[in-house]
Structure 1
Amino acid sequence: MKISLQKVIRIVSLIVFLVCLTLLAFYLIGDARDAAANKDIDKLKDAEVTVPDVLDEYAGLYAENPDTIGWLKIDGTELDNVVMFSRHDNEKYLHTDFYGNSSYRGCLFVDGWCDVLTSDNIIVYGHHMKDGSMFGVIVDYQSEEFYKQHKYISFDTIYEKQTYEVVAAIQTELPSDSAEGFRYNEYTGSDEKSFAEYAKFIDKNKLYDTGVQISPGDKLLTLSTCAYHTENGRFIVIAKKI
């Protein structure tokens, strides 16, 4: 039986429509679930729970999920989120929420090679969400004017309240495994040579001069998210503890 071209086009159009509708439903349901989870997380943040060595503010979160490592906030932005850590599964929270459910947003998480108590550079990853949630906001540091209004980042670990001052914003590319090039995501602080390489990378690639300098021994914070200016593009914001 011969099928007309017009009928084929109608069938294909219907299939495309149904696929798009399914994807839309997936994202809407995911957004609703993430919003509900965030409300529950906020309640846990204020729960009256005591855990040895953990700040009272974060004890409820830690009691619910021991992978909790801290809280990240930039005043005046959407960024106000729990931060997770899984040493043995570095990508565990890439697409998993605080409660262990599948989530395309995932959670903010500290690199598995970092130690929040001893590392000279703590690297935190998060998705570049177009609605400004998660690390969608840090790409706004492309604007020097935005930087001037948001010079400070609050990153509390579960052990200590901490404030960081922004040093630089950088748009870069992460080299492939077989390619040569500096890999900012491998610097957690070890010796003066490694620090010098990182400082050189910052000075060469910073989008503008903040006037904030770093020195060996400074405790740094690197926020990293995807960027789409090139393959394996990354946007990072580097700050130092004050």
Structure 2
Amino acid sequence: MRDKKGTHRFWGVLFYLALMVTIVSASYAGVRFCSNLVTEQSYERLRDAAEAFAVGTKNGQQGKEKNKAAKGMERESEAGDDRPEGIDFAELSSINPDIYAWIRIPDTQIDYPVLQREEDDTYYLRHNSSGRYAFAGSIYTEEANSRDFKDPMTVLYGHNMRDGSMFQNLHFFEDKTFFAEHPEFFIYLPGYRLTYEIFAAYRFDDTHLLGAFDFSKKKGRRAYIREVFAGISMGQNTREDVKVTAKDKLVTLSTCTSDQADGRYLVQAVLRKKEKTRQ
């Protein structure tokens, strides 16, 4: 009789523990979902505030209808002025002075402000562009990089979110067809639009690029460029015909991989054009 009571008690405790784990897990998932929803809504408001319009894709008008991330990718120039539309950074700065740039990649959801926090490189890992805590964080750079994109290598970080937000869509470039059909992306600064040509996309580890490689000297930059074009990882996509030299200004977009805790997926590009905007 005692054995039966002990067995019932054991299974009762086990059931209680399993129930508590289920409740806690569901609550955590709910909190994350709400946090991500609020974060994406805040970015949508920022897009409206920025009045962002980019020029440079033939299918821009079609993109506006089919994809929010491609909103305004193409717009007719004003009479006598063929400069691309820019970003209203004055308005964005009034919301958060840490916003200093904007990135947009055609045919993806990547359409976000870029932030940098003074004396705290990890702040935007878990804070949105309004400065509120958010699991999805923001797209950001570290203080090792200047805000003018004149460094030999600038690294932008963003989470690999399951809902496709932040930098998750960088994984689109794992597909060879997508990689081949999307050779460029745009970064906006106050008064300027920078056009970057993508030359490589590949899996890497969590090595801190700016700390592990010496980009301050041409010799170090040449060695790194040779390494990338030689093929750093299996499944790497590379544009062999793109010329990249130690004099060029490079950008790396970095996000996590879902199947490897210390894995990263990198998309790398070289600055090809800097033009003034109308904004």
User: Which of the five TM-score ranges fits, normalised by the shorter chain?
Assistant: 0.7 to 0.9
What is the TM-score with the length of structure 2 in the denominator? 0.75
Cα deviation for residue 125 of structure 1 reads: 0.3
What is the aligned partner in structure 1 of residue 277 from structure 2?
none
CA distance, structure 1, for counterparts of residue 25 and residue 120 of structure 2? 32
Q: Name the amino acid aligned to 1:160.
A: Y
Q: Which of 44, 55, 69 in structure 1 is aligned with 2:49?
A: 44
What is the aligned partner in structure 2 of residue 111 from structure 1?
142
CA distance, structure 2, for counterparts of residue 114 and residue 93 of structure 1? 15
Q: Name the amino acid aligned to 1:143.
A: D
CA distance, structure 2, for counterparts of residue 141 and residue 98 of structure 1? 26
**Are 2:209 and 1:209 aligned?**
no
CA distance, structure 2, for counterparts of residue 188 and residue 33 of structure 1? 39
What is the TM-score with the length of structure 1 in the denominator? 0.86
**Are 2:110 and 1:79 aligned?**
yes
Larger Cα-atom Rg: 2
Cα RMSD for the two superposed structures: 2.1
- Gaps in structure 2 of 5+ consecutive residues: 53-85, 273-279
Cα deviation for residue 194 of structure 1 reads: 1.7
CA distance, structure 1, for counterparts of residue 238 and residue 129 of structure 2? 36
CA contact (8 A) 1:113 1:188 kept: no
CA contact (8 A) 1:155 1:163 kept: yes
SS at match of 2:238: coil
What is the aligned partner in structure 2 of residue 7 from structure 1?
12
What is the aligned partner in structure 2 of residue 138 from structure 1?
170
Cα deviation for residue 231 of structure 1 reads: 4.6
- Gaps in structure 1 of 5+ consecutive residues: 48-54, 176-182
What is the aligned partner in structure 2 of residue 180 from structure 1?
none
What is the aligned partner in structure 1 of residue 251 from structure 2?
221
**Are 2:184 and 1:149 aligned?**
no
CA distance, structure 2, for counterparts of residue 102 and residue 83 of structure 1? 16
Q: Which of 99, 110, 122 in structure 1 is aligned with 2:130?
A: 99
CA contact (8 A) 1:123 1:188 kept: no
Q: Compared with structure 1, are the counterparts of its residues 196 and 76 closer, same or farther at alpha carbon in structure 2 (3 Å cutoff)?
A: same
Cα deviation for residue 228 of structure 1 reads: 4.5
Q: Name the amino acid aligned to 2:45.
A: D
Q: Compared with structure 1, are the counterparts of its residues 159 and 115 closer, same or farther at alpha carbon in structure 2 (3 Å cutoff)?
A: farther
Cα deviation for residue 188 of structure 1 reads: 7.8
Q: Compared with structure 1, are the counterparts of its residues 135 and 46 closer, same or farther at alpha carbon in structure 2 (3 Å cutoff)?
A: same
% identical equivalent positions:
23
Q: Which of 206, 209, 231 in structure 2 is aligned with 1:184?
A: 209
